[in-house]
């Protein structure tokens, strides 16, 4: 292997393993199950899954997508999450090299991936990802090349307060326009508390301007892409998924976008 590929290659393998763990966390935490016991089981025949049948992506290919015992199809979601996690981790280490920032960035993207799966499947964002992630984000802001503690604390606060405000305002507006609409949908707020805590986590990683960009991009994506679909099929919006994608885009290209916006649109010479 060419040496230049060694770090991203190894990071990719670690990413695959983390993806395997994320699959477990994001399906067990939302329904308050332990991630340690019971061990992995087939959801159809309840046979324990042996370690050699539990290797990220590889086992799925070797078993030709089926449970060894009952031939139930293993959901495509599992290898896709593992592969995504591996590629993201390899990519971040390719950008930043073997560094603290690469570790910080990878952990942020892992959290966003875990949140996306939980929110898409259960409409729940586990506190382990949002609150636990906020603690990680604050701690890692001290890393060399990190965003610094003031920006991390500020970002977390802005993320929380901003989303809380939108949730409150959204609730009032919906209640005014069509009273009882939220109750009908079994909700008490226009936005889940999980989204609010999630944005606190995002802020602790990308800082004040980053969390604003994330909120803007996430809302835009939710409105333009999912809004029409949700209205047509009368489905709830897993808003966390859009915020997660927006958070990842902001981490990767946020500064470039902000520069572009300030110079081209606002006309400031930066």
Note the residues at the interface with Zn ion (CB under 5 A): 42, 44-45, 67, 69-70, 72
- Asked if the bond preceding 38 is cis, omega within 30° of 0, the reply is yes
Q: Is 87 within 8 Å of 13 (Cβ atoms)?
A: no
Rounded to 5, what percent of the chain is helix, strand, coil? Answer: 70, 0, 25
User: 45 vs 220, which CB is nearer to Zn ion?
Assistant: 45
Helical H segments across 149-238, by residue range: 149-177, 181-184, 193-221, 227-233
Tell me how crowded residue 7 is: count the other CB atoms within 10 A of its CB: 17
User: 44 vs 259, which CB is nearer to Zn ion?
Assistant: 44
CB of 68 to Zn ion, least distance (A): 7
User: 71 vs 178, which CB is nearer to Zn ion?
Assistant: 71
CB of 59 to Zn ion, least distance (A): 13
Nearest to 110 by CA among 14, 195, 28: 14
CB of 71 to Zn ion, least distance (A): 7
CB of 70 to Zn ion, least distance (A): 3
User: 60 vs 160, which CB is nearer to Zn ion?
Assistant: 60
């Amino acid at each position: 292997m060419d040496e230049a590929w060694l770090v991203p290659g190894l990071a990719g393998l670690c990413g695959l393993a983390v993806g395997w763990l994320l699959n477990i966390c994001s399906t067990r935490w939302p329904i308050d199950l332990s991630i340690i016991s019971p061990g992995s089981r087939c959801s159809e025949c309840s046979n324990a899954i042996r370690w050699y049948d539990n290797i990220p992506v590889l086992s799925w290919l070797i078993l030709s997508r089926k449970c060894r015992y009952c031939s139930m199809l293993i959901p495509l979601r599992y290898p896709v999450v593992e592969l995504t996690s591996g590629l993201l981790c390899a990519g971040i280490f390719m950008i930043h090299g073997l560094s603290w920032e690469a570790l910080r960035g990878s952990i942020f993207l892992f959290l966003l991936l875990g949140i996306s799966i939980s929110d898409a499947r259960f409409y729940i964002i586990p506190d382990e990802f949002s609150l636990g992630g906020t603690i990680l984000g604050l701690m890692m802001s001290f890393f060399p090349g990190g965003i610094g503690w003031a920006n991390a604390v500020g970002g977390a606060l802005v993320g929380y307060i901003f989303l809380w405000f939108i949730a409150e305002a959204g609730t009032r507006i919906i209640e005014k326009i069509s009273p009882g609409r939220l109750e009908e949908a079994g909700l008490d707020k226009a936005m889940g508390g999980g989204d609010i805590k999630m944005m606190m986590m995002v802020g602790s990683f990308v800082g004040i301007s980053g969390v604003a960009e994330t909120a803007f991009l996430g809302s835009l994506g939710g409105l333009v892409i999912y809004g029409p679909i949700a209205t047509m099929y009368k489905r709830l919006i897993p808003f966390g998924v859009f915020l997660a994608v927006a958070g990842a885009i902001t981490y990767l290209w946020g500064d470039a976008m902000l520069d572009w916006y300030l110079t081209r649109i606002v006309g400031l010479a930066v």
